[in-house]
Structure 1
Amino acid sequence: MPELKVADRQWTVAAGGNLLDALNHGGVPVPYSCRAGSCHACLVQCVKGDVRDSRPDALSPAQRDNGWRLACQCQVVEDVQIHTFDPQRDGQAAAVDAVDWLGADVLRLRISPQRPLRYQAGQHLVLWAGDVARPYSLASLPEEDRFLEFHLDCREPGQFVDAARQLSTGDPIRLGELRGGALHYDADWHDRPLWLLAAGTGLAPLFGILREALRQQHQGTIRLIHLAHDEAGHYLDKPLKALAAKHPNLNVELLTAAEAPAALAQLRLASRQTQALVCGHPDRVEAFAKRLYLAGLPRNQLLADVFLTREDSGRR
């Protein structure tokens, strides 16, 4: 049976066992969120030996050459020595710029990195508060905001949101890996209708993408639909309405869970050239996608990103 070594600890694990489970069960806490190879919170480094990797395409060639692996996607098949991601050693230094509430359930976290971070609207970043990590989508825009902005859904308890509630301006925080998800704005869409459909804090990356489209003077119509549990859940209603008042080609629709089925059933495409971006909980994304396909949207004109919880990943 293979031996797993981390720092000065070494123990035997089952051959073919999941690396993330072996580490956590062995008392080496490695954070994770999605268990699907998307969030990159479980990044570890193989310094001796290797593992069987089911998602080699999830990391860049340079990362793989340096031994980095996503623990959730790997099986232990031989003796291997692991360095876990150390936010103090491997992460980037940053400080909390501001913490405030956008309504009762959404905590807005603004962070100033010690060194400028090059990113694009729609990307997400792993945040480390002490030894607790979680990926969050960026709601900020590099050309307009001096800070990195994140919207944290605090309706349910969690290690990171519990830690984030205790943060104050000036507190240190570490930044992990920056990732590009499916969502982005493409200048080639300049004259096409653009639909942005978000559920809950899935609005965060689409808010950045919306502002990027407007910054690039998007000429096609833009339709943004935000689905929330109730009226109070439309946590960006004021800035969205302000943007709609300023840009005649932007239409903002705020739907509650009770209103959504009837409203989504009425979706109709004005043009087969429509480009749609969807983000939120997997169930909501699936519902959005189904209605868009029924409305005639070509499948290659839909980009989707899902916000997975640990419970979601366990069911899938």
Structure 2
Amino acid sequence: MPELQVGDRRVMVEAGSNLLDSLLGASIAVPYSCRAGSCQACLLRCLAGEPLDGKPEALDESRRQQGWRLACQCRVVGDLQVEVFDPATDGIRADIQACDWLSDHVLRLRLLAQQPLRYQAGQHLLLWTDGGIARPYSLASLPAEDAFLEFHIDCRQKGVFSDAARQFKVGESLRLGALSGGALRYDPDWQACPLWLLGAGTGLAPLYALLREALRQGHQAPIRVMHVARSSDEHYLANSLAELAHSHPQVQLELIEAAALPDFLATLRPASRQTTALLCGRPETIETVAKRLYLAGLPRSQLFTDLFLPHA
């Protein structure tokens, strides 16, 4: 049986066992969320030995060369010594500049990082509380225009991070962990193609950044922005989006309540085979919309989805 070492702790584990499960089974605290290799909450560094990595492409080559791995995607195949990501030393401090409620359930959090952070619209960033709670959130800010990092946190359901977020105050600090690519981006080659952006709930956050990026780059073709929410009160960016639509004639805004989604999907057909669609939100909504678009003739290569997976 391989030996797994973390600090002074040494435990014997089954060969081929999942690294994250082995650590949790030994009562070694490791944050995790999606278990799919997307959120990067379970980042750790290999100091000796090498696990079998089932998803090496999840991390960039620079971090892999430094020994970083995602515990949820690795299996223990030999003796292994690892070091869990420590936000106090490995993370970047970020001070809360503003936190305000955009609706009854959506908290807008704006942070000022104490070190430069290079990111692109559509990416995710891991946020750590002082209590050691880590969750990934999509960036709603635009690096070319905003001095702050903006996140939209859905606090409708109880959860350890959302419960902590309700108590955030200006002047307090968080730690920034891993930055991940996300599945959404804006390609300058799309400028002459119709662009559809559909967000469900706070899945609107990265699309808000991507919309602004498309406009910044001079997107000429029509842009259709659709937001699905439980009720009219939950269209939390309605005013900001309406302002963008008013000042950019190519932008069309549609606000859809969840109860009306089936009827809306029945009429959803791309006007052009050149249409590119970016969808973001919870799987139950986004997978339904993606299936509808595919059946309506949109090629899979022009359909991009970012699923907000629930905490595993």
The answer to whether the superposition gives a TM-score over 0.5 is yes
Q: 2: CA distance between counterparts of 1:206 and 1:66?
A: 32
Q: 2: CA distance between counterparts of 1:14 and 1:162?
A: 36
Match of 1:289 in 2: 290
Aligned counterparts, 1:82-97, within 5 A: 82-97=82-97
TM-score normalised by the chain length of structure 1: 0.96
Q: CA RMSD in A?
A: 1.1
Amino acid aligned to 2:72: C
Q: Which moved more, 1:53-62 or 1:204-213?
A: 53-62
1:146 aligns with 2:147: yes
Q: 2: CA distance between counterparts of 1:107 and 1:29?
A: 28
Match of 2:120 in 1: 120
Q: 2: CA distance between counterparts of 1:69 and 1:303?
A: 26
Q: 2: CA distance between counterparts of 1:84 and 1:298?
A: 41
Amino acid aligned to 2:258: A
Unaligned 5+ segments in structure 2 are none
Q: What is the CA-CA distance between 1:162 and the residue it aligns to?
A: 1.6
Match of 1:235 in 2: 236
Unaligned 5+ segments in structure 1 are 312-316
For 1:240-282, what per-residue CA distance to the aligned partner results, in whole angstroms no more than 9, with x for missing partners?
1111111111111000111110011101222111111011111
Secondary structure at the aligned position of 2:272 is classed as coil
Match of 2:47 in 1: 47
TM-score normalised by the chain length of structure 2: 0.97
The count of residues paired between Structure 1 and Structure 2 equals 311
Amino acid aligned to 2:206: P
Q: 1: CA distance between counterparts of 2:72 and 2:167?
A: 29
1:133 aligns with 2:134: yes
Aligned counterparts, 1:53-132, within 5 A: 53-130=53-130, 131-132=132-133
Q: What is the CA-CA distance between 1:107 and the residue it aligns to?
A: 0.9
Q: 2: CA distance between counterparts of 1:115 and 1:69?
A: 23
Match of 2:21 in 1: 21
Identity of aligned residues (%): 59
Amino acid aligned to 2:288: A
Q: 2: CA distance between counterparts of 1:26 and 1:58?
A: 25
Q: What is the CA-CA distance between 1:158 and the residue it aligns to?
A: 1.3
Secondary structure at the aligned position of 2:4 is classed as strand
Match of 2:164 in 1: 163
Match of 1:260 in 2: 261
Structure 1 segments, 4+ long, off by >3 Å, are none
Match of 1:310 in 2: 311
Q: 1: CA distance between counterparts of 2:67 and 2:143?
A: 31
